[in-house]
Structures are given as structure tokens and as C-alpha cells.
Amino acid sequence: MFSSGQLIFGICFLIVFTGIIILSYRSDKKRQPKYFKGSYKILLGFLIAFSFLVLIKYLTQQ
């Protein structure tokens, strides 16, 4: 499906992108804390929705 080079690039991109997002979030949260109150709920909802979609994919392929 993907070549080894594409997989390595994808994994590296994911790690770097996630790191940049985390650093950006932390710096913004320090500057404007009132906008980030309860943001963990949105992250939790996103993870639940994504997990649900992956579960549907694997259940319908069998």
C-alpha cells in the first residue's frame, strides 16, 4: 500500500506536527487561559469520534 519511505515520512511528519501543536497550545494557554478552559472535553470528544469511526471500519470489513 505505501512504500517504506512514505511510511517513514508519514511517521516523522506526525511526530513533528504533534510536537508543534502541543508547544503552540501550551504557549497560547499561558497567554490567554480563559479561551482554553474545558478544551480537554473537545479533545476527548474528537478521540471518541475517531475511535468510533475506526471501529465501524473494522467491523464492516469482516
What predicted TM-score, i.e. pTM, was given to this entire model?
0.60
Q: What pLDDT, on a 0 to 100 scale, did the predictor assign at position 29? A: 86
14-28 average pLDDT score: 93
At residue 35 the predicted structure's pLDDT band, cuts being 50, 70 and 90, is confident
At residue 36 the predicted structure's pLDDT band, cuts being 50, 70 and 90, is confident
Q: Which residue has the cell 512504500?
A: 3
CB-based contacts of 29, cutoff 8 Å, min separation 6 = 36
Q: Where are the domains of the chain?
A: 1-31, 37-62
What amino acid is encoded at 15 in this protein? I
